[in-house]
Amino acid sequence: MRAYRQRKAEEHASVDELRVEHRVLKRQLSDALRGRTRAEAALERTTTRVERLESDLERTQAQLRSTEADLAFARSRIRELLERHDPAVPSREPGLSRQQRRAMERNERKRKR
């Protein structure tokens, strides 16, 4: 009888150990699944952000190219206007007051000295 009880106690102890081990493994599995879900969500957010930043970069580069083209046009227009301008003839631009015209003339005379 004593041997039977001892054998049964060992069987119960082994079953209890298995239950504890099962709970631990089940908890580890659920933690791993939650971690995987969080990692997948973070990956999705990061991927979306990268795509948005890439489109922003493309748009900004297009703006830069457009601005550079405008700048090149403005520079060529300024060169063209400067080539046409005759420095010997004082500029009589409409819209300048008498005081501004006289200041321009004084500056021209100073430059010639």
Measured between alpha carbons, how far is 99 from 51 in angstroms, rounded to an integer?
A: 58
Measured between alpha carbons, how far is 110 from 106 in angstroms, rounded to an integer?
A: 6
**Residue tagged 């631009």 (tokens):** 93
Measured between alpha carbons, how far is 98 from 78 in angstroms, rounded to an integer?
A: 26
Mean residue pLDDT across the chain: 89
Mean pLDDT is lowest, of 9-18, 32-41, 53-62, for 9-18
Mean local confidence (pLDDT), 96-108: 90
Q: Which amino acid is at 1?
A: M
Mean local confidence (pLDDT), 53-68: 97
Mean local confidence (pLDDT), 45-59: 97
What is the model's pLDDT at position 94?
65
Band of residue 95 on the pLDDT scale cut at 50, 70, 90:
confident
Residue 95 backbone zone (phi > 0: left; psi -120 to 50: alpha; other: beta): left
- The token duo for 30 is 């659920």
What is the model's pLDDT at position 92?
56
